[in-house]
Amino acid sequence: MAADQIPSDPAQYWPDTPAPGWLTDEERQASLDGILAERDGPIWIFGYGSLLWRPAFQSVESRLATLTGYHRRFCLVMRRFRGTEECPGLMLGLDRGGLCRGMAFRLDDVTVDEDLKGLWRREMVTGGYRPRWVKLKTPLGPLRGITFVANRANERYLKPHSLDYAAEMIAGACGPVGSNAEYLHATHEHLLGLGINDRGLASLDKLVREKCAAIKR
């Protein structure tokens, strides 16, 4: 499945009964309410992974942005959507340390409530992420935005691992939404299109392509 065909709402792939560890609608709403209680202006969302190429909202403004204190890493085990219980893949998260360059998107005040509900439904399927207000640097000055960082206390969190270990998981994983490799490739390609060079992601992308080619032989 191509990146532009991937549904922005993964709910259609949820089983009738949520898997253990998945958030209830009430828990998801409580999380969103908690974030909105700290709102003090326009809502900006910091995208660093699939939100760059498959956002769950319509933005009215976007800016290149840098977040310090976190870096982009495949650190959440994925057993659905782009992986299975038998062959899990990995999802991107923001892990502690370093910095991350991505995009800040400003939501429309008219549709912000529905946009945020859709975003929470997509990103807060489990407790793998923690939504946070963060300070972002942009070419037009600093701003405050919301992003989703990896929850190190969650069972899906994978401690720092080797590049080869990550590549093996990503190259072999596939689910109803598509392959894990497509997720990596689309993110890397969109970062390059924005002029963002993530050397770690570039190395992982190259290694996964090599492993995928070897699997097809």
| Model pLDDT for residues 34-58, shown as the tens digit of each residue | 999 999 999 999 999 999 998 888 8
Half-sphere exposure of 76 (CA within 13 A, CB side): 26
85 catalytic residue (yes or no): no
C-alpha distance from residue 33 to each of 55, 109, 130, 164, 198 (Å): 21, 16, 13, 40, 33
Strand spans (E) along the chain? 44-47, 59-78, 89-107, 129-136, 143-150, 174-175, 178-179
By three-state DSSP, how is residue 216 classified?
helix
| Model pLDDT for residues 76-104, shown as the tens digit of each residue | 999 988 999 999 999 999 999 999 999 99
Question: Does a structural domain hold residue 8?
Answer: no
What's the CA gap between 81 and 75, in Å, rounded? 16
pLDDT of residue 214 exceeding 80: yes
Question: Does a structural domain hold residue 193?
Answer: no
Question: Does a structural domain hold residue 121?
Answer: yes
Give mean pLDDT, residues 63-76.
97
If one counts every other C-beta atom within 10 angstroms of the C-beta of residue 78, the result is: 24
pLDDT of residue 106: 97
pLDDT of residue 113 exceeding 90: yes
Question: Does a structural domain hold residue 180?
Answer: no
Q: Which domain holds residue 62?
A: 16-158
| Model pLDDT for residues 161-172, shown as the tens digit of each residue | 999 999 999 999
Active-site pick, 26, 38, 123, 210: 123
Q: How many helices (H) and strands (E) does the chain have?
A: 5, 7
Average pLDDT of every residue of the chain: 90
pLDDT of residue 13: 41
Question: Does a structural domain hold residue 97?
Answer: yes
Question: Does a structural domain hold residue 69?
Answer: yes
Question: Does a structural domain hold residue 199?
Answer: no
Number of domains in the chain: 1
DSSP 175-204: ETTEEHHHHHHHHHHHHHHTT---HHHHHH
Structural Rg of the chain based on CA atoms: 17
Confidence band for 217, pLDDT divided at 50, 70 and 90: low
Question: Does a structural domain hold residue 50?
Answer: yes
pTM recorded for the entire structure = 0.89
CATH number assigned to the domain comprising residue 42: 3.10.490.10
Largest CA distance in the chain: 55
| Model pLDDT for residues 189-202, shown as the tens digit of each residue | 999 999 999 999 99
- Tell me the percentage of the chain whose pLDDT exceeds 90: 80
187-210: b or e for each residue (b if 16 or more CB lie within 10 Å)? bbebbeeeebebeebeebbebbbe
